Amino acid sequence: MKEQNSASLQNLFEHFANVYHNRELAAQKAHQLGRKIIGRTSHDIPVEPLLAAGFFPVLITADLSRATPFADLYVDPELPGETRILFESISTGDQAFLDLLILARAQDKLYYFLKEIYRLGRAPHMPPLLMLDLMPSQRDSVLAYNRNRYQAFLDRLKRLSDGKLTADSLKAACVLTNQIRALHRQIQDLRFEGRLSGSQALKVIGAGVFMDLSDYARDLQQLITHLTLRPAISKKGSGVMIISAEPLRFTQLHEMIEDVGGTIMAEDDVWGSRTASHDIAADGSIEDAIFAKYTVHSSGPDSFPASKRDEFLNEMLKRDEIGAIVFYVPPSDRKLGWDLPRLTQKIEATGLPCIKLFHDLANPKGAESIKSELREFLASHHTLITQRGA
């Protein structure tokens, strides 16, 4: 029985890892079967209306190893590498199978560069674009603007879906995504119990933005069933939490921390622990409930004011399982560095040790420096972390 559970777990982990690494494969297969495919460049873009309209949603990410000869001709060199790579990929036709590509506010410069290259007639295979400009602020004037942009987003989807987007279909979509949120909360609890590693969790969670969500919910439930049969092995205070300036789209940092002996139990990032969020409310207007989930009730790293941004972090810092904090702030950072002194002070007030990593993981020399710093940090604070968990 134990061997059978172990084999089933391994198969499920390999399945999620395959989806995670081959990110557009499921969407391309769905396209070949005649489904309409909607790409989105950010978790900030509500997925429920896409599901309710009958579309296959897929997150579009940058292959950081890709060369950018076309983008080098048009995109400002000081812009982040991710912007250049996405411009290269989208403008040269890699996402031509999409029926619509939705960009979030964080990709505003990418949106304007793509619009211009299309206007010039140099990107004939680029998919249609839509900008969903939701501002991360709770001010009344901003909420009014966000509601206007959100309604325009819904109107575009209604036209594209030929009327399939209704209140009933939105409610059904929310039932599915709330089910997945509940499963993600279970995954987070299992991580605190030491039943899966941080890098495994990142692949399991990340696979959900690249596959059919009904299939994902089914497969995730199967994984959790098998994981609960594993013994709990974690100790209080033995885990690391990552706070990153860059979205944790890949597992390189996790694998490096694990390679030098760290156990990652949480991330202040939507690619990891932040997916274990609260459900969309089932009462009242379903359109309003989805809007509130992605704006009023959002507490992502870009949220304003800072107290909103800190809600998730404060919750994690109360957990006895967390024994150390790792900040990843590479040279490409344009946001977290401004808030780093305040966040450092907050963490130091809890008595938790923390380290700030300023090198670039994508650079081989930078990666080696980070690995050396992590090894020294975890070794020097091992006694403190162990005592905290005693």
Least confident of 126-130, 164-168, 298-302, 340-344: 298-302
pLDDT of residue 390: 40
Question: How confident is the model over 318-328, as pLDDT tens digits?
Answer: 999 999 999 99
Q: How many helices (H) and strands (E) does the chain have?
A: 16, 8
Express as a percent the part of the chain with pLDDT over 70.
Answer: 95
The residue type found at 152 is: A
- Calculate the CA 315 to chain-centre distance: 19
Strands (E), the chain: 37-40, 56-59, 100-104, 129-132, 239-244, 264-267, 322-328, 354-357
Residue 386, pLDDT above cutoff 80: no
| In the chain, ranges of CATH 3.40.50.11900 domains | 168-389
What CATH number has the domain spanning 36-158?
3.40.50.11890
The tokens 């495919």 sit on which residue?
A: 37
- Given CATH 3.40.50.11900, say whether it is the number of domain 168-389: yes
Backbone angles phi, psi at 246, to 5 degrees: -110, 140
The mean pLDDT value for 266-281 works out to 93
pLDDT band at 296, cuts 50/70/90? confident
* Buried b / exposed e along 248-281 (16+ C-beta atoms within 10 A): bbbbebbebbbebebbbbbbbbbbbbbbbbeebb
Q: Rounded mean pLDDT of the chain?
A: 92
The mean pLDDT value for 368-389 works out to 79
pTM over 0.85: yes
DSSP string, 243-308: EESS---SSHHHHHHHHTT--EEEESSTTTGGGS-PPPP-SS-HHHHHHHHHTTT---TT-BSHHH
The mean pLDDT value for 326-346 works out to 92
pLDDT of residue 363: 92
Whole-number Å distance between alpha carbons of 111 and 230: 46
| In the chain, ranges of CATH 3.40.50.11890 domains | 36-158
pLDDT of residue 238: 85
